[in-house]
């Protein structure tokens, strides 16, 4: 169970993301420097209690219309070997000291806990309260058998794909509100989803798909 420390971070998470987000192919903000606000998200627990796992939603007011982005992050007390390319930045935590913040899609601990969430073996936790489930995170999975391990990561304009053995977990980095609850459609290859909520700049509550699970049809 992760313990949430309400303390000072230098630089803040939003300050780190202000520099990092424009380097991503899926970033939809304007030409100006991002103007970010924390808008929602959830956490997952690391069973070993070593790595912080946060799925953060930020809204960006730098473009003609506000954009919402999903930013999965992991926080570690030491560098993750071989993940220099995924480092978002370092910050000083008022309780825990220096923390290394990573694009969590490249962190094996986040990958393992995300698959556990989809399979129903883990529960989403509140973003800012210790030991409190987040009931706004909805999960559906109709796939047969466990999801694969050893996921490879690729980014493009549409988001971040975690892929192995014909299965893709697509993280929708640029979020769009969905008017209704998403529906899985095995016939179309969609076997699961994770949806969540965030606050829009006008204070309204929006829901959208954070992660889609797709199974590729086997070769004939």
pLDDT for the residue 91 = 93
159 found inside a domain: yes
Does a structural domain hold residue 2?
no
In a domain, 1, yes or no: no
Beta carbons of 73 and 94 less than 8 angstroms apart: no
Whether 220 maps to a domain, the answer reads no
Euclidean distance between CA atoms 77 and 56, whole angstroms = 19
**71-to-41, 47, 97, 144 alpha-carbon distances in Å:** 9, 21, 22, 28
pTM for the whole structure? 0.91
Range of the domain at 103: 9-215
Number of Cα atoms under 13 Å in the Cβ half of residue 80? 27
- The verdict on residue 155 lying in a domain is yes
Question: Which DSSP string do the residues of 13-48 spell out, in sequence order?
Answer: HHHHHHHHGGGSTT----SSPP-EEEEEEEEE--TT
Give a yes or no: residue 4 inside a domain: no
pLDDT value at residue 95: 64
190 strand-pairing partners: 185, 214
Per-residue pLDDT tens over the stretch 178-188:
866 555 555 55
Structural domains of the chain, count: 1
In sequence order, what are the residues at sequence separation of 6 or more whose Cβ sits closer than 8 angstroms to the Cβ of residue 104? 53, 54, 55, 72, 73, 74, 110
The pair of structure tokens assigned to 198 is 């965030």
Residue 110 lies in a domain: yes
Longest CA span, the chain: 57
- Name the nearest CA neighbour of 194 among 184, 180, 179, 205: 184
Residue 42 lies in a domain: yes
Looking at residue 137, what is its pLDDT? 97
pLDDT at position 85: 97
State the 10-residue block means of pLDDT for the chain, 220 residues long: 59 95 93 93 96 97 92 96 96 80 98 97 92 95 89 96 96 87 61 95 94 76
Please list the alpha-helical segments (H only) found in the chain. 13-20, 108-119
Instruction: Compute, in degrees rounded to 10, the torsion defined by CA atoms 73, 35, 63, 207.
Output: 50
């Amino acid at each position: 169970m992760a313990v949430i420390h309400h303390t000072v971070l230098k630089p803040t998470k939003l300050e780190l993301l202000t520099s990092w987000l424009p380097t991503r192919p899926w970033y939809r903000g304007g030409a100006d420097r991002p103007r970010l606000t924390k808008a929602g998200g959830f956490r997952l627990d690391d069973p070993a209690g070593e790595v912080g796992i946060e799925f953060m939603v930020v809204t960006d007011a730098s473009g003609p219309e506000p954009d919402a982005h999903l930013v999965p992050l992991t926080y570690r007390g030491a560098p993750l070997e071989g993940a220099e390319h995924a480092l978002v930045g370092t910050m000083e935590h008022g309780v825990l000291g220096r923390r290394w913040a990573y694009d969590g899609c490249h962190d094996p601990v986040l990958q393992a806990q995300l698959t556990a969430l989809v399979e129903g073996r883990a529960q989403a936790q509140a973003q800012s309260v210790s030991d409190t489930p987040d009931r706004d995170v909805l999960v559906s999975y109709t796939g047969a058998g466990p999801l694969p391990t050893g996921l490879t990561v690729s980014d493009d304009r549409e988001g971040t794909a975690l892929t192995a053995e014909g299965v893709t977990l697509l993280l929708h980095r640029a979020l769009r509100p969905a008017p209704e609850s998403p529906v899985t459609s095995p016939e179309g290859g969609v076997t699961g989803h994770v949806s969540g909520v965030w606050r829009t700049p006008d204070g309204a509550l929006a829901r959208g798909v954070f992660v889609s699970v797709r199974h590729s049809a086997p070769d004939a």
